[in-house]
Chain A
Amino acid sequence: MKVDDREINRREQNREKDEFDDSKIIERILGGEVNEFAILVKKYQKGIYNYALRMLGHEEEARDLAQDIFVAAYKGLRGFRGESKFSTWLFRIAINQTKNRIKYLRRRHFFDDEQYTSEAKEVPDAFATLSGSEDNPEEAFLKKDFSSLIMKGLMELPPDARQIIILRDIEDFSYEELSQIMELNLGTVKSRLHRARHALRKVVEAKMAQGKK
């Protein structure tokens, strides 16, 4: 699944352009044009909402959390010195807000609800099937089922492990960006990601075994 060099260059250029645009928008917001913040919200709401959704596993809570993250970002915007990308800075706020929200919800036994302890559905041996390359309705169904199994497995991981997998494998942040977001050194990021992926593999395998029975 390698991407060719031209595609990499195009993505890089887009990212640089994005960061340039972000800093211009931030300048305008700090200059008093508060409504400009809506541009940033629209631009990043998908990533932030999906991060919140995958961390909490609940749409309503994810929506509230996403709003809180943006409001916190707005409050702290004067503290953004442009030393890192805006997206990195925003996700740093997101992980802190999410940690607090998880603590808050745990105190209220939110995660004890049925929704979060439901059994995995009966799943066929998706590993074997997924290795094939045919794109037919049956495979699509299996892929969807496998995705839902992975999501369930992800929800069973501790928040730290879930967070690093989401940021790396779903939100596609680089190791350097992860290191900035999580305020950890590169080595720690690598080992945490390895442990988290390993843990996810174990959970998914266990669910598969359970599904076969």
Chain B
Amino acid sequence: MNCKETQKKFSQFFDDLLNGYKNTALLDHISKCESCKRAWNRFINIVNSLRCLPHEEPPFDITPGVMARIHELEKRECWWRKLLALDSLAPLLGTVVVIMLVLGSVILYQKVNNTKGVLEVTNAPERLDVKTHPGDGILRKTAIPKGRFAATVSPLSGKRYTVVTLYVDDIDQAERKITTLASRVFVDRNFRTNPNQAPRKILTQYRIDIPATELDSLLRELTKIGEINHSVNHGKAAMGKGRYALEPGAMGRIQGMEMRFAGDTPEGAGNRRKMGQGLHIDVPMVPVNVVVVYRGHRSKK
């Protein structure tokens, strides 16, 4: 054991923490090495002096001071304990707690399973791109402001919608008749200008929102206007920039229609790539899309 190792062990040696072998080696070294002996003497002098340091008497006011502060604390904190200790109030408080728990559970349940709650669509849906113009009732596309939340919802949005292709000879007469069929008829003249469509073939697209139960009678009425061909399709809503605040199950009004957002559509992925997030929407009112086509075009086909 050299001097450095020896002096490193002073503390443990002093506290009897060294094993027999190390103890002997350290004592051996100290007896032979004069400088380590001096260092050891200094060490034990200091530690022994520390141990002999007198304990000062604490000031007399520590206990009264502490107790005064504790009584002050008790006064401030124990009002609710006292309240709970009152026998007459305990059942009342218990009842209040139970009622609050029940109410809380009901509210939570409603929140989780909310299918009929009112949804304030405040973030944007009133700025949906397809809107009825107040003046002429024509659907027009509006630009989505940059950086603002916005969404696009196709006029055919809905979990289920019916497409009726109506072949007519006189477009004006057909339009007049269609608009009398239901109170909510949207006319999408932009449809005609869509470059992907054949403008001369398809004249006008109407959307008529009717209760599902009235679909058959509507179809009967349409057969009086022209020859019809109809199919039931699944629609989708495509979300634009930003995040849509609606969660599946939420109810909302879009384009005057009560809608329930049921979740992502199978086509959602495609829509997300193109426009945003696809949403599946349950529509209590069945939208009927009436595509008016000149009878002549059909015959050409």
List residues of chain A with CB under 8 Å of any chain B CB.
Answer: 1, 34-35, 37-38, 41-42, 45-50, 53, 59, 63, 66-67, 70-71, 74-75, 126-127, 130-131, 143, 146-147, 150-151, 154, 165, 169-170, 172, 175, 190, 193-194, 197-198, 200-201, 204-205
Contact = CB atoms under 8 A, between A and B. Distances in A.
A194 B61 contact: no
A170 B63 contact: no
A108 to B, nearest CB: 22
Contacts of A35: 67
B73 interface: yes
B49 A37 contact: no
A50 B291 CA distance: 95
A194 B11 contact: yes
A63 B70 CA distance: 16
B51 A170 contact: yes
B261 to A, nearest CB: 49
A67 B69 contact: yes
Contacts of A46: 55, 57-58
B220 interface: no
A49 B66 CA distance: 13
A143 B56 contact: no
6 contacts: A34-B71, A41-B67, A63-B61, A130-B49, A169-B51, A170-B53
The number of chain B residues touching the other chain, given as a range, is: 35 or more
A197 B47 contact: yes
A64 B140 CA distance: 77
A150 B49 contact: yes
Contacts of B59: 49, 59, 63
A67 B65 contact: yes
In the A-B complex, the 4 residue pairs with the smallest Cβ-Cβ separation, listed nearest first, are A49-B58, A194-B11, A169-B50, A70-B66
Contact of A71 (B15, B61, B69): B69
A163 to B, nearest CB: 13
Contacts of A197: 10-11, 43, 46-47
A1 B46 CA distance: 14
Contacts of A175: 15, 17
B12 interface: yes
B63 A45 contact: yes
B56 A50 contact: yes
Contact of B63 (A1, A42, A130, A147): A42
Contacts of B46: 150, 197, 200-201, 204
A78 to B, nearest CB: 12
B105 interface: no
